[in-house]
Structure 1
């Protein structure tokens, strides 16, 4: 039976990463519909689930969990902001930016959508991404909220752990 803080530190980033993988699948689906891509479903969905999951989990561990455990992050507001940024960027923006070139490449390969003239690719990507971004807005907010919540819970667990550790050290010195 492990303490509550240990389970939260272990599994919390995995939940955030799982949500990021799900956001990657949503973004991939929206781009596939926008560009009329019907081929290579598994080949495009697999990296869109796995890469955001791995990246967000590693990013949260590197930016929030490890600094808390090493004592480099002692500010509750900083923990909240870092968690929110990892949630929004790693779990929302990154999957969307990852899905765009993948699906533009598939649309070009299978000729399912008209490709822009040379030199207008950036404008084309912005136009294709605008409706996808609008539909993903709820995902961004959800990921930011969950990252904030996880950051606050991690900081509370860290504070309790630090309190237990310091009280044990004081007991040993007496």
Structure 2
């Protein structure tokens, strides 16, 4: 089948794809006409959540280093704790909240807010702390900074080590959850603005212009 014949085939899937593509174009066009404050919030708002995630990673890393008496490789352990949570949080929020929302796939406000809160708490708050645990465990074993138990007591030992860190980080996780909810709410509000403008522009030629 040639390319021309493929384009001429009119199937429900193709019509759905074309309608979806056209809708995304209209949403992007109206988005570009929004005030700069709204555009910046949509384009860069997730970076604030990601930056807080980096701080959670650095704080968790510092707590584990102090408990395990690790004094070596401070920069080597801090760098991934800042970079990995930042990239992970920004990417997950983009994939599960911002992109589905502004492509028209996600329109439910409650779903958007729940996603934002879960991403903020789990990926932006808990994940960096979980990531810091094996990092510092390997450093403690490498530099023998703290006596480590045998295999029979390994789980209980790390549970005891992790409990005070997670208690200290509980407020950070709560802040991240609230930040994710706030961002998701603001992004959904901007999406509603776009839908309202789409409804006021009844002339298809005006939308496509």
RMSD, aligned CA: 1.5
The separation in 2 between residues aligned to 1:62 and 1:173, in whole angstroms, is: 31
Which shifted more, 111-120 or 61-70? 111-120
> Among 62, 66, 78, which residue is 2:95 paired with?
62
- Specify every segment of 5 or more residues in structure 1 that has no aligned partner in the other structure, as ranges: none
Question: Residues 26-62 of structure 1: CA distance to partner in whole angstroms, max 9, x if unpaired?
Answer: 0000110111101000000000000000000000001
| Pairs aligned (count) | 173
The separation in 2 between residues aligned to 1:9 and 1:172, in whole angstroms, is: 26
Larger radius of gyration: 2
Corresponding residue number in structure 1 for 2:199:
166
The answer to whether 1:30 aligns with 2:63 is yes
The separation in 1 between residues aligned to 2:157 and 2:100, in whole angstroms, is: 41
Question: Residues 108-134 of structure 1: CA distance to partner in whole angstroms, max 9, x if unpaired?
Answer: 111111111123322222111000000
- Specify every segment of 5 or more residues in structure 2 that has no aligned partner in the other structure, as ranges: 1-33
The answer to whether 1:94 aligns with 2:127 is yes
Corresponding residue number in structure 1 for 2:38:
5
Corresponding residue number in structure 2 for 1:120:
153
TM-score (norm 1): 0.94
The separation in 1 between residues aligned to 2:38 and 2:57, in whole angstroms, is: 29
Corresponding residue number in structure 1 for 2:176:
143
Classify the secondary structure of the residue corresponding to 1:158.
helix
TM-score (norm 2): 0.79
Corresponding residue number in structure 1 for 2:51:
18
The higher relative CO (CA closer than 8 Å, separation ≥ 6) is in 1
